[in-house]
Amino acid sequence: MEVILKKDIPKLGFKDDVVTVKDGYAVNYLIPKGYAVMAIGAEKKMLAETLKQRAYKEEKIKKEAEEIAEKIRDAHLKIGAKAGTSGKIFGSVNPIQIADALKEQYDVDIDRKKIMVDGDSVKELGEYKAKINLHKDVRVDLKFEVFGE
């Protein structure tokens, strides 16, 4: 029997996959638990439409991520921080400050959770790199400089 999975099921398939299983497994377990529906004509048409819409949305999100990546690919961000005479920063520079600086200097709004600073943390003045994951297929390396205020 062919069924359309509604959830990821280990060793069987992922959500929205059409899989063939034994009749008893489908009727007694997958369908009653809500893990799958029978793959009949109407359900297959709905699945095709859902996949088509999801692909369109995914392409749009990826295109927006690529546009943002082009804006900041060659950017050199400058972040001011209070520092002592030895060059040590009071506190550290974190992804929140990097996101704020991107918004201020390049008018690009990026979620702080997508920014990963190379190394543990930035606690001294100097130049550093951060990786920005805009999309699962779009990643950008960003150079930034921390200077004393």
Q: Which CATH class is domain 2-62?
A: alpha beta
Say yes or no to pLDDT of 120 above 80: no
Strands 126-135 and 115-117: antiparallel
What pLDDT does 121 receive? Answer: 77
Q: For 143, phi and psi rounded to 5 degrees?
A: -95, 135
Domain spans in the chain, listed from the N-terminal domain onward:
2-62, 69-148
What pTM, to 2 d.p., does this model score?
A: 0.67
Q: For 56, phi and psi rounded to 5 degrees?
A: -65, -45
Percentage of the chain beyond pLDDT 90 is 66
Residue whose structure tokens are 């749009």: 60
In this structure, whether the domain defined by 69-148 belongs to CATH 3.10.430.100 is answered with yes
pLDDT single digits (tens) 60-94:
999 999 999 998 988 889 999 998 888 889 888 98
